[in-house]
């Protein structure tokens, strides 16, 4: 299985679409959605939502939202929310660590992930930076970004994450 870890803000929701709101919620920019659809169509990758929009939102609602935006790829899950205690407060860990946790759990339950890519405008991917296509809030996901993501998903690499080995074709 191939997986796209998907952030929303800065990937599908960019500066242009932020100001074209649907009610009080930002909406996706159509060219960004088209670029994502090209990635999933070209690679057969499924989508795992890693966006902060996942917090408090069931997977079925994330599927419905992405479908309303025109996303055609299959949404299969969302990454876990992991917090750690620092002193007397709890703080979130990096997005990269949340993605690693999802990959570890998936491998234990269902088997190997063939390949994956992370679409995000943030840089907190830790040891997964070679799988990260960094977008910008200004433009969101571009056709050039889509080309990079397709190359990563269809490429060949071997990746070791926190003691577990993840192999890609």
Each residue's pLDDT tens digit, 66-96: 999 999 999 999 999 886 666 666 556 788 9
Tell me the average pLDDT of the chain.
Answer: 86
Each residue's pLDDT tens digit, 126-156: 888 899 999 999 999 999 999 999 999 998 4
- With a cut of 70, say whether residue 18 has pLDDT above it: yes
- Rounded to whole angstroms, what are the CA distances from 166 to 3, 28, 40, 52? 13, 32, 21, 25
Domain ranges across the chain: 2-168
- With a cut of 50, say whether residue 21 has pLDDT above it: yes
The CATH fold of domain 2-168? Rossmann fold (3.40.50)
Residue 134 structure tokens: 């960094």
- 158: buried, middle or exposed (CB in 10 Å: 19+, 13-18, 0-12)? exposed
- 37: buried, middle or exposed (CB in 10 Å: 19+, 13-18, 0-12)? middle
Q: What is the DSSP string of 45-101?
A: -EEEE-SGGGTT--HHHHHHHHHHHT--SPEEEEPPP-EEEETTEEEE--HHHHHHH
Range with the poorest average pLDDT among 19-23, 61-65, 73-77:
19-23
């Amino acid at each position: 299985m191939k997986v796209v870890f998907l952030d929303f803000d800065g990937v599908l929701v960019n500066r242009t679409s932020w100001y074209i709101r649907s009610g009080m919620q930002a909406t996706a920019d159509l060219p960004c959605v088209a670029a994502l659809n090209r990635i999933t169509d070209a690679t057969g990758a499924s989508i795992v939502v890693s966006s902060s929009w996942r917090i408090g939102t069931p997977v079925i609602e994330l599927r419905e939202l992405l479908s309303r935006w025109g996303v055609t790829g299959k949404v299969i899950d969302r990454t876990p929310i992991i917090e750690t205690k620092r002193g007397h407060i709890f703080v979130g860990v990096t997005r990269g660590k949340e993605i690693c946790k999802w990959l570890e759990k998936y491998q234990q339950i269902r088997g190997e992930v063939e390949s994956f890519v992370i679409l995000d405008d943030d840089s907190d991917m830790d040891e997964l930076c070679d799988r990260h296509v960094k977008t910008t809030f200004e433009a969101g996901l571009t056709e050039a970004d889509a080309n990079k993501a397709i190359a990563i998903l269809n490429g060949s690499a071997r990746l070791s994450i926190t003691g577990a080995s993840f192999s890609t074709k």
